[in-house]
Amino acid sequence: MAGAGWAPPRLDEYILTEPLGSGTYATVYKAYRKRDTREVVAIKCVNKRSLNRASVENLLTEIEILKTIRHPNIVELKDFQWDGDHIYLIMEFCAGGDLSRFIRMRRMLPEKVARVFLQQLACALKFLHDRNISHLDLKPQNILLSAPENPQLKLADFGFAQYMSPWDEKHVLRGSPLYMAPEMVCRQHYDARVDLWSVGVILYEALFGKPPFASRSFAELEEKIRSDRAVELPSRPQLSLECRDLLGQLLERDPRKRISFECFFAHPFVDMEHVPGPESLGKATDLVVEAVRKDQEGDAAAAFSLYRKALEYFVPALHYESDVRRKEAIRAKVRQYISRAEELKVLVTSSNKNLLEKGNPARELLKEMAKDKPRLCAALEVASAAIAKEEEGRDDSDALELYQQSLGELLLLLAAEPAGRRRELLHAEIQTLMARAEYLKDQIKMREAQSMGKEALAESVRSACTLQ
């Protein structure tokens, strides 16, 4: 319940239910509108009596900032009201809880999941940075998730946020120590780059399950933060080079050497161009249409390049899509485009121009795609020798033996081959070779039966002559 049985007189249009969280001077409740849509919201109830002058200023700044901004990765302030005892901030409700709980429930996040969240956080920060706004209290508890499944990140709690130009410097201690930049903890002058340090700590916690300076006491935490030693990244789990590079640049103790906002937004691991969003599928589709046109015109290099660019948008489109049927339909199309892109890659990189002239037969394409696999190349050569010997028609037994030898090796290689176009082609080739081997085996059995029949007939004739 909303505590102590009180009923806010100016909030008659809402019913407050369970508390979602509380802080020094505010409690956030889940609530819903009584009429019409029965919209679910979160209401931040601030007790006026608990406010000192600094917290009043923080609250006014939070309202001022949230009133003027709208962004899909920032929690929306829908309205604010007040009465004699309380100030009420009526906010967008986020059913997925906060990022801290999300990480804790999974212990640590896979790199690809952490990257999607980082991209969305970067979008929110870019929006704020363009308006000279610094959050100054970035931490997983202030990052909400829109839903339990396929969540969208929402930056929240702007109680410490400030309008700061890039050249502005402050020295007031703000934020949470675990996520606070060293220059803040050391009470030195700081600027907007403190948010980038906090981003690094959040990314570190998402990937490794705990923040880099996890401590048992504030004294221990302060000592670790004040240290001059570079932040070390654990060797496990394995991360991409791009991810480790970004973490190293974000967790740079010296703010002058820390990555800049411009370089952060342009970093290949952040890759803001391919953030999942409603426009991802449209961009992917436009590129695929052009790729198919180039493919039909016979421009393999251009088609391959366009397919690759399209796939870079299809991945975020899949992440963004919530409808199960639509997602599966997109996946099926993506599998087709990947297969064609793999074929075109072979054609583009191959020195064997005959592949283009032959119209890209499956066996020749498979051989070209097997060039980096000596065992597979050798097994395919044995299969080719079996086909050649069979077509000569001189010794079917030798041909059958070669078929069986190649199939034994190819079946082992198929079991170890990862999903992809080469596996599809290898599977089809094995089926073809099996069918040829079976046909050859039947031919040999038939000839043996005929031979045995002739011998039996000859024996019968000889017996008849002997009796006469």
Strands (E), 159-313: 162-163
Please state, in angstroms and rounded to a whole number, the distance separating the CA atoms of residues 28 and 45.
6
DSSP code at position 215: -
Q: What is the largest CA-CA distance in the chain?
A: 134
Q: Is residue 414 a contact partner of residue 427, using CB atoms and an 8 Å limit? A: yes
Q: Which of 251, 183, 255, 177 is nearest to 214 (CA)?
A: 177
For 339, the token pair is 């297969």
Residues constituting the chain: 468
Please state, in angstroms and rounded to a whole number, the distance separating the CA atoms of residues 67 and 80.
9
- For the four alpha carbons of 372, 374, 378 and 383, in that order, the dihedral sign comes to negative
Q: Which of 43, 27, 30 is nearest to 78 (CA)?
A: 43
Phi-psi region of 239 (alpha: psi -120 to 50; beta: other; left: phi over 0): beta
Please state, in angstroms and rounded to a whole number, the distance separating the CA atoms of residues 413 and 55.
67
Kindly list the strands in the beta sheet with 26-33, ordered across the sheet, starting from the edge strand earlier in the chain: 14-22, 26-33, 40-47, 86-92, 77-82
Q: Is residue 2 a contact partner of residue 16, using CB atoms and an 8 Å limit? A: yes
The catalytic position among 83, 85, 130, 137 is: 137
389 is in an annotated binding site: no
Q: How many CB atoms lie within 10 A of CB 137?
A: 22
137 counts as catalytic = yes
The tokens 């009923």 sit on which residue? 7
**Which residues have a catalytic role annotated?**
137
Residues making up the annotated binding site are 44
Residues making up the annotated binding site for ATP are 44
